[in-house]
Amino acid sequence: MTHDAPVNWQPNSPSVIASIMATCQRFPERPAFIYRVGSNELTVDYEKFREDVILLTRAFEERKVKRGSRVMLLSDNRYAWIVTDLALMALGAVSVPRGSETPTQELEYILNHAQCTFIVVETEALLTRHQEMLSTHKEVKTVFIIEGTDKHTLFNRIYAYNDILKDRTLSDDDFNRFDQKVAEVTQKDLLTIIFTSGTTGNPKGVMLSHRNFLFNTETLPPVIAITEQDLWVSILPSWHVFERTLELLALTSGSCTVYSSLKTFSADLVTYKPTLVATVPRLWESLYSKVMAAVMERGDRAHKMFNLLVKISIRFRRTQRLSRGHLPQFKRVSLPGRFIRKLIALGEMLVLVLPYRLAQKKLAPLQEKFGGQLRMAVSGGGSLPIYLESWLDAIGIRIANAYGMTECAPAIAGRGYNSEIFGTLGQPVSVTELRVVDSENNQVAPGVEGEVEIRGPQVFDGYCDNDEENRKAFTTDGFFRTGDLGKLTIGGELILTGRSKEIIVLASGENIDPSRIEGAINQLPFVNDAVLVGQDRKGLAALIVPDWDKLKDFVTERFGQQEQEVKDLHEDHALRDRVKNEINRLLKAKNGFKPYEKLQKIDFLKHEFTVGEELTNTFKKRRHIIERKYKELIDRLFK
């Protein structure tokens, strides 16, 4: 069953691999990738990239990888990842990607569930880590190692890329056979099975076709105005659908991707001067915290002046948008009402115009931290808090706030160049049908919260071998139930308000979206992360992961309290109450919070959350893991 009816959308290319190979022939001399091996920087043009894909395709085919083969790809970001991905596409094989930090138990679950018969691992060390488990899986025919020495013998089926790619000569027959293989791949073919990050329970295998990805690569370019002149700096996991689709989008557009890392990201922005960058809300929060910490180090006066400049910029830009009708509207305003609103806004802009120009001049140097050429930053993989979006906008960073899911490969909506309504996710992309419904599955009016459901060519056909979840996932008329809560403006722009599965229900029956409150807590300079708890309790509490040095500074500055040891800070109950009160000042009615959304208790966690345990690869909180790990602490908070 497909879930894009009644839309009869057809792609311009028969497959993703065909589309990218056409780009390689259109821009053979343009750079496709820049990456590092040790201290050496390497640049690969589109012609060389195509040849690398053909070489690996030939090597895979010689070792019995064929159409329909399911191949686990266990690796982090690297140039060989994308070459492997495309070589598998060319053969009509199905990739099952995962990051290197995946626990053995989870890996075994995925291996069994997806019925993989081949495995590609990044390093020998990674193979060794999982060797005991893999040795029991006789259905795995061959293991390939991206970075390692040849281990092939008569008694095993392990091959290193260095060995299978020794012969780098390509004949006319090789090119012709490759083109023939690519021509056999169709839009309906299964391209990949991506197992969701597992924020709740076991991961589910999302089956995505070439058609699902083609819809993204062919309809998203106008949203961000991408061309062959653009340069990306990439930092997210390649196997995650958000990053993966952006890399495919870059390839189909002829632009260049620079592989970066968390360690080198800031320096790479300055070095390579990207025109586009894509990352997740947590990294924007990290940037915000670093900038604010740097400003605070310059003293109280500099801190206050910076905040004033940002507030002026936010106020002017909001007023300007109000005058242009570029803010969310949920009810139609009469013509006289619009005229009066515009007149008031213009008056306020006249008062603010000179301070605003000064603010822009003073804030402009921050843009150099992004290289000075950045025209748009794409934020996806989670909801960007409004305070953070406003702050980035104030310092001159244009954000394409995007909304997607693995099940949609991933695009659902995005506010790029196609939408000017600030504080929204824009309208659904292209021919996507989106509706917001109540608990009875009836569509609700603009401004009314409900569950977001979608239907379109990007929507997957179902989860791998999981009939029960597939029945839950779709309505009788083919709409996918996203599980996200949101509301529409009168112009059809989407605003997300929470996640139905993450809603905390208090003992009193009040429903609370934790993300809004956590976003407010994260504004405090010493907060690295925060998790709200309180399911079936009388009130709310928060577990806070602090930056201990910044917490010391905060305590000294705000309360005049000198405490030097982490142990002292962690065990100071009076301090917790003071910090809780500071947080509750942010959770005021004028900021949109209700009385029952204030915190009753807080506690500090000694250790940061880590990817693969409390966090997914895109830094989303795995609430069920956190609540289970800290169950005793949570119980004590509510005694």
What pLDDT is attached to residue 509?
A: 66
Q: Which of 220, 239, 206, 214 is nearest to 15 (CA)?
A: 214
Cβ-based neighbours of 635, under 8 Å, separated by 6 or more: none
109-143 pLDDT, tens digit each? 999 999 999 999 999 999 999 999 998 998 999 99
Q: Which of 247, 266, 260 is nearest to 41 (CA)?
A: 260
What pLDDT is attached to residue 315?
A: 96
What pLDDT is attached to residue 591?
A: 83
Q: Which of 6, 1, 9 is nearest to 429 (CA)?
A: 9
Q: Is the pLDDT of residue 336 over 80?
A: yes
Q: Is the pLDDT of residue 13 over 50?
A: yes
What pLDDT is attached to residue 287?
A: 85
User: Please, what is the average pLDDT of the chain?
Assistant: 91
Q: Helices then strands (H, E): number in the chain?
A: 22, 25
What pLDDT is attached to residue 385?
A: 82
User: 0.75 exceeded by the pTM?
Assistant: yes
Cβ-based neighbours of 185, under 8 Å, separated by 6 or more: 14, 15, 17, 18, 89, 90, 92, 210
Q: Which of 247, 210, 258, 235 is nearest to 83 (CA)?
A: 247
Q: How confident is the model at residue 563 (pLDDT cuts 50, 70, 90)?
A: low
What pLDDT is attached to residue 199?
A: 45
Q: Is the pLDDT of residue 12 over 90?
A: yes
Q: How confident is the model at residue 552 (pLDDT cuts 50, 70, 90)?
A: confident
Tokens 């009066």 found at: 340
Q: How confident is the model at residue 566 (pLDDT cuts 50, 70, 90)?
A: low
Q: Which of 32, 26, 523 is nearest to 257 (CA)?
A: 32
Backbone angles phi, psi at 610, to 5 degrees: -120, 150
What pLDDT is attached to residue 408?
A: 97
In the chain, pLDDT over 90 holds for what percent of residues? 69
Q: Which of 477, 250, 473, 515 is nearest to 384 (CA)?
A: 515
- Give the three-state DSSP class for 142: strand
By the 8 A CB rule, do 89 and 185 touch?
yes
- Cα torsion 244, 248, 249, 251: sign: positive
- Of 18-22, 217-221, 426-430, 533-537, least confident by mean pLDDT is 533-537
What pLDDT is attached to residue 429?
A: 95
Query: CA 367 → CA 80, 361, 399, 423, distances in Å?
Result: 32, 11, 13, 21
Q: Is the pLDDT of residue 195 over 70?
A: yes
504-549 pLDDT, tens digit each? 878 766 778 888 899 899 989 899 999 999 987 889 999 999 998 8
> Mean pLDDT across the stretch 82-99?
97
Task: For each of the domains in the chain, give its residue range(s) and CATH number, in order of start.
Answer: 503-637 (3.30.300.30)
> Which is higher by pLDDT, 3 or 137?
137
In the chain, pLDDT over 70 holds for what percent of residues? 96
Q: How confident is the model at residue 293 (pLDDT cuts 50, 70, 90)?
A: confident
How many whole angstroms separate alpha carbon 586 and alpha carbon 297? 23
> Which is higher by pLDDT, 573 or 201?
573
> Which is higher by pLDDT, 248 or 3?
248
579-596 pLDDT, tens digit each? 999 999 999 877 878 888
Side chain identity at residue 67, one-letter code: R
Q: What is the dihedral of CA 441, 447, 453, 457, to 10 degrees?
A: 140
- Cα torsion 7, 10, 11, 17: sign: positive
